Structure 1
Amino acid sequence: MIKSLAKYILLTVMFIALPGCSSLQFADIFQGYSSQMKSVKAAQRRGNFVMAQSLLNERSASNGSYVLGLLERGRLEFLANNWSASQQTFAQAYIEIEEQRNKAKIQISKGIEKLGAVVSNDNAISYQVPYYEQGMLHSYQALNYLFQDDLSGALVEIRRANLVQETALKVYKDEIYKAQNELQNSGMSTDSLQGGYPNMDKAIGKVKNGFQNAFTFYLSGILYEASGEFNDAYIDFKRAIEIYPENPYLQQDVLRLASKLGMQDDLISFQQRFGKYQSKESTGQGKIVVLVERDIVNSKQDVGLNLPVGSSSYGLKFFSFSLPVYEGALSQHNKLTLQNAGQSYQTNEIVRIQSLAAKDLKDQLPSLLTRQVVRVVAKEQVRQKLSREAGNVGNILASIYNIASEKADTRSWSTLPDQVDIIRFDTSSGKQVLQMQVDGQQKSIEIDVQPNRITLINISAIGSHFGYQTVNL
């Protein structure tokens, strides 16, 4: 009896310790990432970005969520105006992402990671940074360079951001097709989720995929325009307007550059869609571009389901699953109003990051569900084995572990804004004080407008926090 119990205890310890010895912290198995980030996001909403950084879990380079921790830290350093530190942190995150692309290293590590995931949950797998998060990484890195007066460095980052979107567009359909086939081969389909898994359509909104980001294209267009590369600017403004055709500032940008570059066919087409272009440019004026970050993206939540899975050893049986989800509809943000020289301008949305996150998750569901099927079957086989070898005690404790460790992978870049809006207009050069209405409160923004140059203003309106940075391009 004692020998049998000792054997069982050894098996149980190995069972629990296996994922921990690879790339997991204990909290990752039993608590979940979104829960760990609650205090961080609360501090972020208060504008206490230094405290938010201190609340981040310290993760070693061998931890599967190390790159995600770098993204969170880099974002909080950016919000704290510590652009040099943010630049270094994001540079390390980029190195980690590039190493993930090294297929040989990934193949060596994946077998161990998948084994850890089988006996615990998806948190044992190294976090694969989604394309939309990679795009935001390079966008913020570009802003880090700009606020340190390095336009050439910013252009390098913005080209990397565009490359991310181009790569995603090429592999997107193949990845979705492969994931759906793997799920079908496991004997299930996403139809199994009907009725139990919350519908994310309201959180997804109108986006067609989870990676095409009009904000990144727009920022790219602004930087190219500032550097005198008008053809490249025009290409990226056109990319942006295909995603957000209703944005009036984007409409004016494509009309203006189509006219400037003599793109007559394009100009006719755009004027049919957006109205006749009326040139408002005058020599000596400055150009104001305002980027407005609104609130914080929602975190993924854990939803429990009971789904049928078939097996030759025990037939059709219902198992408990945990899957991540973005619940609820998109938050509604009031438009911010800016006043200058007797003119009033309202913000217009250029990206809803919450929508990209929800669409990316929906596209990942076939892969998530496939791993869940493998996991619950493996855990059931272990439970049966321990039940045979250690009796009721083994059966009970294995069942308890299975339930306790069944946590959805709720990891995502959780300190990103919910959405980004833009404003663009021309104004007189010289010292200017812009008045902005933010949720019923008036804020003043002081800028030095230089003739024939773009003054970029980045505003963060997060919870009770309002902050801004300016740079002349």
Structure 2
Amino acid sequence: MFSVATLVGCTSIGMSDLFFGYSQQMQESRSAQLRGDFVVATTSVISVNRQHNNYGLSQLEKARLQFLSHDWLASQKSFELAYQQVQDQEQAAKIQISSGLKKVSAVVTNDNAIGYEIPSYEQGMLHSYQALNYLYQGSLEGALVEVRRANLVQERALKTNQAELYKAEEEMAEKGINSNKLYDNFPSMDNLIGDLKNSFQNAYTFYLSGLLYETAKKFDDAYIDYKRALEIYPNNTFLQQDVLRLANKLDMNEELARFEQRFGRYQGQNKTNTGQIVVIFEQGIVSAKEEASLNLPIFNTRSDFKFFTFALPVYRGRLSALIPLSISIDEKSYLSQEIVRLQSLASKDLKEKLPGLVTRQAIRLVAKEQIRQNLSKSGGDVGNILASLYNIASEKADTRSWSSLPDNVQIMRLDNVAVGQKKLMISYAGKKQVVDIDVSENRTTLINFTALGNFTGYQTINL
């Protein structure tokens, strides 16, 4: 099997990537993350060089964990490296010089031999975290650059998504695979996806953009992005009030009347000597992809049908329980509300990619079968057995994804909070802690609160 070793050496994937799934390799890091030991979690991320297929993904994992460690500069640098990978892939696609050798090697190995392409929903979160990194280092301008990039990701995906889905479905049909048969036999992820329309529209990225534009006094831009977030999460009352507040401030009287008809009158008041508190609450951690096997008929090299066993990635189970954050201040209590369920976006992204995954695997399985037949002729029973064992061992599902992301993000906004030192009683899942903050006049105090596993932590900043 020297040819396999040669291909592995040429395609920047290790033998562990060939025979062990990404989810399996990330178990130690995820366990440390759930304990709140972010230093160990970071060092446990598989270290790879720039030529490795998982380089961009590795930087995403490190950057998120460094962010949780409040190491803003290190996180910023890791996200920059991941973003450079995105740009390199986009440039390669534009000039039609894709990694041909990697795709050839994927034919005789598995999809892990293909460079990891960071999906749109992950790109949006990349820029959102990078915006916060800049914000915590005192650069509002740098943060605004990142939220603009996050918005561009969604705009591009909106233009290209449907065409790409249609093309993948067509290519799968050319291989004789019926999409209905695929989805009938594949474990359903619908209970994880819910009623999402696509895998890339993220209300949180729009909300963060609106918040930062408002901080920069760019109220028209803030109003546009709050409205975009509201289109995705129309039942979020904090978003409703944001849109009503800015429609009122900008004298958008016709729109204000329409929004008030939907959501009721604007509840805010312009009080002096007050500030605002905004809470971004990240809960849990996304599930790891698992492997699912199913049998499907496809055309073989003799142009007739034969059943092959496919190894495909899947998210299993149900959505985790959504537990709101409770904050008490000045004898009043408030609950956070969901603004994005990243687990649902990840599941929707995988479902949209299934036709492409199946098509590549169909080509690979037929090629491997042809190799087995040739080795059987030249090497007899020994060649046949070795080729069969290799085919079984190497056919691993591609379980790569940004696995350190939170399961969901929730928000809360408190207006007209009297200025001065404040003690917030924060309650989550039966645990309580006091957070001291300083509310300044006409300024927003941002609290970024994280809860995962047994860990809770927070960061505050006056915008």
Q: Does TM, scored on the shorter chain, surpass 0.5?
A: yes
Instruction: State the match for 1:458 in structure 2.
Output: 448
**1:283 Cα deviation (Å)?**
1.6
Instruction: State the match for 1:445 in structure 2.
Output: 435
In the alignment, residue 372 of structure 1 is paired with which amino acid? Q
**1:195 Cα deviation (Å)?**
3.7
Counterpart mapping for 1:358-377 below 5 A: 358-377=347-366
Instruction: State the match for 1:162 in structure 2.
Output: 151
**Residue 188 of structure 2 corresponds to residue 199 of structure 1:** yes
**1:109 Cα deviation (Å)?**
4.2
Q: TM-score, normalised by structure 2?
A: 0.98
Deviations for 1:293-314, whole angstroms, at most 9, x for unmatched residues? 0010111111011111123527
In the alignment, residue 84 of structure 2 is paired with which amino acid? I
Distance 2:106 2:237 in 1: 47
| Local SS of the residue matching 1:349 | strand
Q: Contact 2:424–2:436 at 8 Å: present in 1 too?
A: yes
Instruction: State the match for 1:82 in structure 2.
Output: 71
Deviations for 1:418-456, whole angstroms, at most 9, x for unmatched residues? 000001002111111111111001011111111100111
Instruction: State the match for 2:40 in structure 1.
Output: 51
Please list every run of 5 or more consecutive structure 1 residues that lacks an aligned counterpart in the other structure: 1-11
Instruction: State the match for 1:298 in structure 2.
Output: 287
Counting aligned pairs with the same residue, the percent is 54
**Residue 91 of structure 2 corresponds to residue 102 of structure 1:** yes
Distance 2:152 2:183 in 1: 36
Instruction: State the match for 1:210 in structure 2.
Output: 199
Counterpart mapping for 1:86-165 below 5 A: 86-103=75-92, 107-165=96-154
Distance 1:307 1:278 in 2: 57
**Of 343, 346, 349, the match for 1:357:** 346
Distance 2:93 2:343 in 1: 33
**1:107 Cα deviation (Å)?**
4.0
Deviations for 1:63-118, whole angstroms, at most 9, x for unmatched residues? 00000000000000000000010011101111111011113687444210111110
Distance 2:385 2:181 in 1: 28
**1:193 Cα deviation (Å)?**
1.7
Counterpart mapping for 1:237-256 below 5 A: 237-256=226-245
Instruction: State the match for 1:431 in structure 2.
Output: 421
Output the aligned Cα RMSD.
1.2
Q: Contact 1:19–1:117 at 8 Å: present in 2 too?
A: no
In the alignment, residue 86 of structure 2 is paired with which amino acid? I
**Of 38, 54, 59, the match for 1:70:** 59
Instruction: State the match for 2:312 in structure 1.
Output: 323
Q: Contact 2:194–2:344 at 8 Å: present in 1 too?
A: yes
**1:207 Cα deviation (Å)?**
1.3
Instruction: State the match for 1:262 in structure 2.
Output: 251
Q: Contact 2:445–2:462 at 8 Å: present in 1 too?
A: yes
Q: Contact 2:175–2:299 at 8 Å: present in 1 too?
A: no
Q: Contact 1:74–1:90 at 8 Å: present in 2 too?
A: yes
Distance 1:105 1:378 in 2: 29
**1:187 Cα deviation (Å)?**
1.7
Instruction: State the match for 1:4 in structure 2.
Output: none
Task: Tell me which stretches of 4 or more aligned residues in structure 1 moved more than 3 Å.
Answer: 104-109
Deviations for 1:37-57, whole angstroms, at most 9, x for unmatched residues? 111111001100000011111
| Local SS of the residue matching 1:63 | coil
Distance 1:334 1:198 in 2: 27
**1:138 Cα deviation (Å)?**
0.3
Aligned length: 462
Please list every run of 5 or more consecutive structure 2 residues that lacks an aligned counterpart in the other structure: none
Q: TM-score, normalised by structure 1?
A: 0.96
Distance 2:76 2:212 in 1: 18
| Local SS of the residue matching 1:339 | strand
* Most deviating of 193-202 and 76-85: 193-202
Q: Contact 1:336–1:347 at 8 Å: present in 2 too?
A: yes
**Residue 463 of structure 2 corresponds to residue 470 of structure 1:** no
Q: Contact 2:8–2:15 at 8 Å: present in 1 too?
A: no
Instruction: State the match for 2:299 in structure 1.
Output: 310
Quickly say closer, same or farther: Cα 1:376–1:155, change in 2 above 3 A: same
Q: Contact 1:100–1:106 at 8 Å: present in 2 too?
A: no
Deviations for 1:189-233, whole angstroms, at most 9, x for unmatched residues? 322324421011001012110000000000000000011011100
Deviations for 1:362-388, whole angstroms, at most 9, x for unmatched residues? 111111111011000000000000000
Distance 2:101 2:317 in 1: 36
